[in-house]
Amino acid sequence: MPKSSTSLSKKTGNKLHRKDLYVRQKRENEKEKREARFRRKKEESRDPELRRERLEKNKPLTIDRKRVWDDVDDDSLYSSVNMEQLLKRRRMEQEEAEERQAAIANGEAVDEEGDASGDDRDSMLGSDDDDEEGDESDSKAAVQARARRVMRDDSVAPSTTSTNLDLTPEALIAKFPSLFADDTPPEPKVLITTSLNSTLHDEAHKLCTLFPNSEYKPRSSHKYGYKYSVREISKFAANRGYTTVMVLREDQKRPIGLDVVHLPVGPTFHFSISNWLDVKKIPGHGNPTNHYPELLLNNYTTPLGVLTSRLFLNLFPKNPEFQGRQVVTFHNQRDYIFVRRHRYVFRDKKATEKSVVGADGKELKGVENIRTGLQELGPRFTLKLRRIDKGIGRAGSEGDDAIQWEWKAKMEKQRTRFNL
């Protein structure tokens, strides 16, 4: 039989015989692949480490995996640095400096790398009591070092999407004290309105169902009515206990933008909206209830991402009502924020489904016969951050740093660099 690399037309002159050879050759190749697949399955069942190595080797190389970071020690909004790695490096440097200072205070010698060495001490000067105390101090120091090392080391199964809001840098806390207040924030109360002469009344009501404790106030479209500005609306809302004002912008009777004003003094976040899908157009959608939903913030790693996730966190109450089984997700991927709302439903496991396994590859106990299904509640849309103003809108911001961050066209010239 000719090899797959050779052309069958050069080996046979008859068309029907050449077709028969091609079919036979294809069948043999599929048979070899199937036998190799079953052979690999048996080997991996005996040694699970082989399967893990194969999956790690054959992992697809996507743009997200090619993401590049700025190699700077900067936590400003325009820097694309991994906050987890940056703060981890700073903590390690601080601990090394503290150990070096403690060694100098104790009279120990410190080498060029900053490690304390006790070779210069005279062992003849110590007594038995000193040796016992020294052993106890050494054991305590070893325990503390081990605890710090465990705190620094990465998890065995690190999460790739969840956002750790404890990684907020001090520069962001000083620049936006209203968003990063230490005391307990008030219960969120959102006022939703639209642009002037808008027709997006139904979309605004859908946003009211998405954000708890929200209320929709249409702006006047009368010819002789008073046209309230966003600053006047924000002042009105702040005096009545509202914590956030949202302005839904439209173009050609479609939602194109969302401005979120954090009261009472800002900042203001400007988002663009794309791919708006109404609830009725989602296949198999469900009807939402008035329960406070759970909140998922995924993949916000840079300083700008942490700031944006903090804004979304302040829009939802801190005490979700789990009996409603509703989840609102703000998933960031390549600087696009996908907003989804689901209800999860517990059901029995089907006979064809596999068991749930943990990070170690073993089956989880207690959930052998339970599965979870999702039902989307809507609405479904995508946000993209365009600008952050210091105060209430661009007109309400003053000073050189009135615009804290703004999207520019050449920011996406390098496809592997992201801002959030």
Query: What are residue 385's DSSP bridge partners?
Result: 271
**Which pLDDT score is estimated for 336?**
93
- With vertex at residue 191, the alpha carbon angle to CA 268 and CA 338, rounded to the nearest 5 degrees, is 60
Decide: 344 and 373 in contact? Cβ < 8 Å.
yes
Closest listed residue to residue 336, CA positions, set 271, 388, 387: 271
**Which pLDDT score is estimated for 295?**
93
Does position 256 have pLDDT exceeding 50, yes or no? Answer: yes
**Which pLDDT score is estimated for 133?**
53
Decide: 256 and 273 in contact? Cβ < 8 Å.
yes
Tokens of 50: 């082989």
Least confident of 163-167, 171-175, 238-242, 316-320: 163-167
Please compute the mean of the pLDDT values over residues 160-166 and round it to a whole number: 60
- Which residues have CB under 8 Å from 287's CB, separation 6+? 377
Decide: 218 and 201 in contact? Cβ < 8 Å.
yes
Does position 129 have pLDDT exceeding 70, yes or no? Answer: no
**Which pLDDT score is estimated for 351?**
80
- CB hemisphere CA count around 322 (13 angstroms): 1
H runs (alpha helix) in 9-82: 15-46, 48-57
Closest listed residue to residue 175, CA positions, set 337, 392, 402: 402
**Which pLDDT score is estimated for 36?**
94
Decide: 391 and 268 in contact? Cβ < 8 Å.
yes
**Which pLDDT score is estimated for 193?**
92
User: How many beta carbons lie within 10 A of that of residue 58, not counting itself?
Assistant: 7
C-alpha to C-alpha distance for 391 and 237, rounded to whole angstroms = 15
Tokens of 188: 């969120």
Please compute the mean of the pLDDT values over residues 138-155 and round it to a whole number: 51
- Which residues have CB under 8 Å from 347's CB, separation 6+? 370, 371, 372, 373
Higher pLDDT pick, 158 / 395: 395
Higher pLDDT pick, 413 / 106: 413
C-alpha to C-alpha distance for 351 and 200, rounded to whole angstroms = 47
Residue labelled with tokens 């210069």: 120
Q: Confidence class of residue 144 from pLDDT cuts 50, 70 and 90? A: low
H runs (alpha helix) in 77-169: 83-105, 128-152
Q: Confidence class of residue 369 from pLDDT cuts 50, 70 and 90? A: confident
Element (H, E) at 350: none
Amino acid making up residue 337: I
**Which pLDDT score is estimated for 29?**
94
Tens digit of each residue's pLDDT (9 = 90 or more) over 209-232 = 999 999 999 887 777 778 888 899
**Which pLDDT score is estimated for 332?**
93
User: How many beta carbons lie within 10 A of that of residue 237, not counting itself?
Assistant: 22
Least confident of 41-50, 113-122, 306-315: 113-122
